[in-house]
Amino acid sequence: MQKGIFSISTSKKMEFADITSKIAHEISNLGVESGVCFVYNPHTTAGLTINEGADPAVQEDIISVLKEIVPQKFHYKHLEGNSPSHVKASLMGSSISVFIENGELQLGTWQRIFFCEFDGPRTRKVYWKVL
């Protein structure tokens, strides 16, 4: 079992940051040929997802839809003012897992791993573990 942590800095209130290369680099450094990589986000106003990375319009569309289905103005009870970010993070989820074969992440042709920022800009941590 190998594990680690890396930081990611976001620059917008809401954005999808592609962390695929960072995870792939960690896997490459380990020399693991086969296993499962788990990626975990310990923040309550950010998420993780795997989706298309070739066309940035896909990430923009997802963010636009999340803004539509999770209103900024609502009778939220949480006093910090970032309840919409908490809801969006819950919808996306806090972890992903990807198979490793022949030392490489087994992602589809267009798939990338995204850190989903909903309460930025911030500096965040991402945890990973390979079994």
Interval 27-66: pLDDT, tens: 999 999 999 999 999 999 999 999 999 999 999 999 999 9
Q: Up-side HSE of residue 80: CA atoms within 13 Å toward CB?
A: 8
Q: What is the pTM of this model?
A: 0.96
In the numeric block, the tokens 């074969």 are attached to: 101
What string of DSSP letters covers 101-125? ETTEE---TTEEEEEEESS-S-EEE
Element (H, E) at 96: strand 95-101
> What average pLDDT does range 96-122 have in this prediction?
98
Radius of gyration of the chain from its Cα atoms, rounded to whole angstroms: 15
> Quick one: pLDDT at residue 12?
97
> Quick one: pLDDT at residue 103?
95
> What average pLDDT does range 96-107 have in this prediction?
97
Confidence of residue 76 (pLDDT cuts 50, 70, 90): very high
> What average pLDDT does range 15-32 have in this prediction?
95
Taking the C-alpha atoms of residue 7 and residue 19, their distance in angstroms, rounded to an integer, is 10
> Which domains are assigned to the chain?
2-130 (2.60.120.460)
> Quick one: pLDDT at residue 1?
81
> Quick one: pLDDT at residue 6?
97
Average pLDDT, the chain: 97
Element (H, E) at 126: strand 123-130
